[in-house]
Amino acid sequence: MSKITAAITGVGGYLPEYVLSNQILETMVDTNDEWITTRTGIKERRILKEEGKGSSFLAIKAAEDLINKTGVDPKDIDLVIVSTATPDMKAASTAAYTATQIGAVNAFSYDLEAACSSFLFGMSTAAAYIESGRYKKVLLIGADKNSSMINYKDRATCIIFGDGAGAVLFEPNDEGLGLQDELLRSNGEGREFLHAQYGGSSYPMTQEAFDEDKHFVFQDGKTVFKNAVFNMADVAERILKRNNLTNNDIAWLAAHQANKRIIDATANRINLEEEKVMMNIQKYGNTTSATLPLLLYDYESQLKKGDNIIFAAFGGGFTWGSIYFKWAYNSN
């Protein structure tokens, strides 16, 4: 009997309407379009403005898009995983709310948090459930409302992040398509360089911390940049090597969209031509857990059955990794 593999059989996405352009940011902090474009590749990002709407709002919209496109009956979904670094609220699962709202009434659900690697690690989790034969339909959603934890007075972070969500459906495949191999890593020594210090269990919120903006994201950009370049390129190169793949075998690189220069460095390390590098950072910025599924959402029409895709991500924690994946369908 051939091994069951876990393939992606559908993609959905959602971006909030409000566009925060570099030009608007110029009016908010001491920055300019030229600096942002050359240092990051970002031109604009989307922001969810409506009060009371959190990451679940984005997740539900992306899931509904997938359901409409694929025709999957939400009642047949076994499990809903919401990868997110910005859950709706503490002590209540964002995934549970999302699953109920989309009509996945027979599913169990939970959140998965690994900063910007949340979706990549979620792919591993979703695939393992399918490969084991235990479940047949796993909905994996990457959703982040980053604007909820960004200080729009801090030019070092507010120019980078945006809000958005993407969703994929994992199902069993008997042609060997889907997840082929993974190399996932973490190193907790990295957390001092990228975190939101207050508001969690180590440092519950105080009035003083709030007044000093310590609940917002802090990033030592240079250190994170160096680690991201080294580690993302390293795992991408290693996963190619151990699967005896060369650049000619790879159809696409789907890399976490944090900075165009980090993506370019990863592509260079594996000698991949620019045309094979998925890129939408210019439109959405860094949407944390949503970058990888939003790449699939934007590029779905160009993907072909059997295409080899290398996924790669790096994020807070630090967390990082790479996945070698075979695409399972042609879009019509």
Q: Which residues of 97-120 are buried (b: 16+ CB within 10 A; e: fewer)?
A: bbbeebebeebebebbbbbbbbbb
Q: Of 9, 40, 93, 118, which one interacts with ligand UT7 (CB under 6 A)?
A: 40
Q: Of 233, 258, 281, 328, which one interacts with ligand UT7 (CB under 6 A)?
A: 258
329 is a site residue for ligand UT7 (CB under 6 A): no
Q: Of 6, 11, 138, 224, which one interacts with ligand UT7 (CB under 6 A)?
A: 224
Edge-to-edge, what's the strand order for the sheet holding 108-112?
Answer: 5-14, 163-173, 138-145, 79-83, 108-112
262 is a site residue for ligand UT7 (CB under 6 A): yes
Any catalytic annotation for residue 256? yes
191 is a site residue for ligand UT7 (CB under 6 A): no
Query: Applying CB under 6 A, which part among 13-21, 35-43, 237-245, 271-279 lies near ligand UT7?
Result: 35-43
Q: Of 149, 156, 183, 245, which one interacts with ligand UT7 (CB under 6 A)?
A: 156
Give residue 151's region: left, alpha or beta (phi > 0; psi -120 to 50). Answer: beta
Residues in the chain: 332
280 is a site residue for ligand UT7 (CB under 6 A): no
Any catalytic annotation for residue 158? no
Q: Of 136, 155, 195, 215, which one interacts with ligand UT7 (CB under 6 A)?
A: 155
Catalytic residue among 173, 227, 256, 259: 256
Q: Which residue's CB comes closest to ligand UT7?
A: 221
108 is a site residue for ligand UT7 (CB under 6 A): no
Give the total of residues touching ligand UT7 (CB under 6 A).
20
Residues of this chain that bind ligand UT7 (CB under 6 A): 31, 35, 39-40, 116, 155-156, 159-160, 221-222, 224-225, 228, 258-259, 262, 286, 314-315
Which positions are annotated as active-site residues? 116, 256, 286
